[in-house]
Amino acid sequence: LSVSTVPTSPIAGQKPGTSGLRKKTKEFMSENYLANFVQSVFNTLIEMKTPVQGGTLVVSGDGRFWNPEAIQIIIKMAFAAGVSRVWCGTGGLLSTPALSAVIRARGKGFESFGGFICSASHNPGGINDDYGIKYNCENGGPSPEKMTDLMVEWTAKIAEYKICDKIPDLDLSKPITYDLGDGKSVEVFDCVEDHLAVLKTCFDFDSIRGLISHPDFSMTYDCMSGVQGPYAIKIVEGELGAAAGSCKNAVPLPDFGGPESAWHGHADPNLTYAVELVRDMGLNKEGLPIASDKPIPKFGAAADGDADRNMILSSQFFVSPSDSLAMIVANSDLIPQFKDGLKGCARSMPTSGALDIVAKKKGIECFEVPTGWKFFGNLMDSGTHYFPDKKTYTPFICGEESFGTGADHVREKDGMWAVLAWLQILAKKTEKSGKLVTCEDVANEHWKEYGRNYYARYDYEGVDKAKSEEMMKMMSDKAGSLAGQEFGGMKMKTNDIFEYVDPVDGSVSKNQGIRYIFEDGSRIIFRLSGTGVAGATVRLYLEKYEAADGSLNQHQFEVVKPLAAIALELSQLQTYTGRETPTVIT
Ligand code: VG1
Ligand code: CO
């Protein structure tokens, strides 16, 4: 295949954030933007001695606007870089967890060395919205920081890129193998099959089928016009027998429904954006019950654009993501994946401490890592390091407050896994009790045993970047100086800047958020988002613990309000940003 070398020059700002490189779509479409970044990734891989030559690369995405064009470009560049085989899901679609599964499990003997995920995840898509790309490694997980740092170095010195531009654009709509000569091929395969095969090793599908056919059970799964549609239809309706139509908005759209959709193209499963699901489950956007003229399903879930996020609900009941993580871990013995015992668990720093309480009681190791899934991978892969009695397999569950939950079957958060984990827990509990058990039942039982970590996150979107950085600096400068002082009748235990030393490879991640921790365990945390494309988003995380003998059925948003008042005082947020109220509360 003939290779063209195209001269180019560095483009400023090609720095991956919390999860890949995200920019306005038009910026990505501008001359050489994508090619510069993709070539920088290949240069990094070659520098790191990744077997790109003769290797297999996965390329697919969440179906957002411009994906078809970007995928064709990446395919042509991959062959120019020496790749022999490119794998794509049908339609160029693979959810983020499915792509992770494909990297880890597909094609015995010629496994892939990694893959590109063309997605900006929960960010809206379309010509006027966001585009993104992310590279995942041989273990199926996001590139670690040392690797993204190298990519950034390459983007700053790139002078040319290579592309096999004589290859015609390929039709990726159905399974087929294209033999392009010179030992190069593109294989298109069903986008669901590999992920489904992995999930079948995690769960007892028969028992979940039993729950779904229970006369009192009903469910709805809102795919928000993201990539989960084909997975939900095939797995939930096809394999598990949910009624046809249980999966809503299940056709992936390039703009996730766009401005006309109830969620304005913002395929982000939370109380604010998952408008249709929240209404159908008989709730308002504060998570409070509202009257409904239709029967309310017993179980509800939603996914984001690339299907790594999940929201879990039961009739008129919202399961907060931090709680969901803790409850799955508490009930992990009901999930076949952990039949030999769960060895470890982890949460991101801002995620509530509900998990820690469960881990302590169950006697399992619990880790606290910075925000973003890339930090979980090392822990999962460290089987022999941290869990010496297990040689290769490290039963592990992890999650984030941002509606991300997952386990060691892949190296990404996995929206479908979270849904199946809950269905599995409900199935086993229902089998045992004889009557239908709901998420609300599980939550009430959980809080009575462990207490409740009331929790909320305030997002201030689109604020001035310089001003929010000034605000963060003001708080950072005070680190360590507030211990012992009283705020709103609460005594401060510590205030610091979270820094993470990876226990496996010793790498250090500084500046991962500002923490105020009170004597009673309450926490206030500030971070700046690393996934936005314009201005800045300030995230404020609020947590208050109520012991098992305390008042367990209050409204979470009300309980944390006094903490919010303290947070505004500590940060002077209103003065710095000019914002009176958050854009989103979840
Ligand atoms: C956000 C969330 C974080 C999550 C990340 C990627 O990052 O807070 O928990 O891992 O999005 O999720 P940030 O830096 O904006 O706070 V996804 O579904 O967009 O890949
Ligand atoms: Co996502």
- Of 40, 84, 100, 121, the active-site residue reads 121
Cα of 409 from ligand 2 centre, angstroms: 17
pLDDT reported for residue 110? 84
Mutate to test the pocket of ligand 1, among 100, 135, 320, 531 (most ligand atoms within 8 A of CB): 531
The ligand minimizing its distance to the Cα of 226 is 2
Cα of 572 from ligand 2 centre, angstroms: 31
529 Cβ below 6 A of ligand 1: yes
Cα of 575 from ligand 2 centre, angstroms: 32
Mutate to test the pocket of ligand 1, among 123, 268, 402, 533 (most ligand atoms within 8 A of CB): 402
Cα of 132 from ligand 1 centre, angstroms: 13
308 Cβ below 6 A of ligand 1: yes
Locate the ligand 1 atom nearest the alpha carbon of residue 372 and give its number.
Answer: 10
Q: Are strands 490-497 and 514-518 parallel, antiparallel or unpaired?
A: antiparallel
CA 288 to chain centre: 25
Closest residue by Cα to atom 8, ligand 1, is 402
pLDDT reported for residue 340? 87
309 Cβ below 6 A of ligand 1: yes
Sorted by sequence, the CB contacts under 8 Å of residue 526 that are 6+ apart come out as 472, 475, 513, 514, 538, 539, 540, 541, 567, 571
373 Cβ below 6 A of ligand 1: yes
Cα of 130 from ligand 1 centre, angstroms: 14
122 Cβ below 6 A of ligand 1: yes
Q: Do domains 4-191 and 196-450 have the same CATH topology?
A: yes
Q: What is the ipTM of this complex?
A: 0.98
pLDDT reported for residue 504? 84
184 Cβ below 6 A of ligand 1: no
The ligand minimizing its distance to the Cα of 95 is 2
Helix, strand, coil: what percent of the chain each, to 5?
A: 35, 25, 40
571 catalytic per annotation: no
d(CA 185, CA 163): 15
Half-sphere exposure for 403 (CA within 13 Å, toward CB): 29
Cα of 415 from ligand 2 centre, angstroms: 9
Locate the ligand 1 atom nearest the alpha carbon of residue 348 and give its number.
Answer: 9
d(CA 570, CA 319): 29
Q: Which tokens is 35 given?
A: 């090619």
Number of CB atoms found within 10 A of residue 434's CB: 7
Locate the ligand 1 atom nearest the alpha carbon of residue 17 and give its number.
Answer: 14
Nearest to 363 by CA among 343, 385, 392: 343
d(CA 583, CA 565): 16
The ligand minimizing its distance to the Cα of 531 is 1
19 Cβ below 6 A of ligand 1: yes
H or E, element range at 405? strand 404-407
The ligand minimizing its distance to the Cα of 321 is 1
Q: Which tokens is 259 given?
A: 């401005």
Superfamily of domain 452-585: Alpha-D-phosphohexomutase, C-terminal domain (3.30.310.50)
Domain 4-191 -> CATH class:
alpha beta
331 Cβ below 6 A of ligand 1: no
Domain 196-450 -> CATH class:
alpha beta
The ligand minimizing its distance to the Cα of 405 is 1
Locate the ligand 1 atom nearest the alpha carbon of residue 122 and give its number.
Answer: 19
The residue extents of the domains of the chain are: 4-191, 196-450, 452-585
Mutate to test the pocket of ligand 1, among 349, 371, 455 (most ligand atoms within 8 A of CB): 371
Burial (CB count <10 Å: 0-12, 13-18, 19+), residue 70: buried
371 Cβ below 6 A of ligand 1: yes
Cα of 269 from ligand 2 centre, angstroms: 9
370 Cβ below 6 A of ligand 1: no
> Residue-wise pLDDT tens for the chain (586 aa)?
899 999 999 999 999 999 999 999 999 999 999 999 999 999 999 999 999 999 999 999 999 999 999 999 999 999 999 999 999 999 999 999 999 999 999 988 888 999 999 999 999 999 999 999 999 999 999 999 999 999 999 999 999 999 999 999 999 999 999 999 999 999 999 999 999 999 999 999 999 999 999 999 999 999 999 999 999 999 999 999 999 999 999 999 999 999 999 999 999 999 999 999 999 999 999 999 999 999 999 999 999 999 999 999 999 999 999 999 999 999 999 999 999 889 899 999 999 999 999 999 999 999 999 999 999 988 888 765 555 555 445 679 999 999 999 999 999 999 999 999 999 999 999 999 999 999 999 999 999 999 999 999 999 999 999 999 999 999 999 999 999 999 999 999 999 999 999 988 889 999 999 999 999 999 999 999 999 998 999 999 999 999 999 999 999 999 999 999 999 999 999 999 999 999 999 9
Locate the ligand 1 atom nearest the alpha carbon of residue 401 and give its number.
Answer: 9
Burial (CB count <10 Å: 0-12, 13-18, 19+), residue 468: buried
Cα of 410 from ligand 2 centre, angstroms: 15
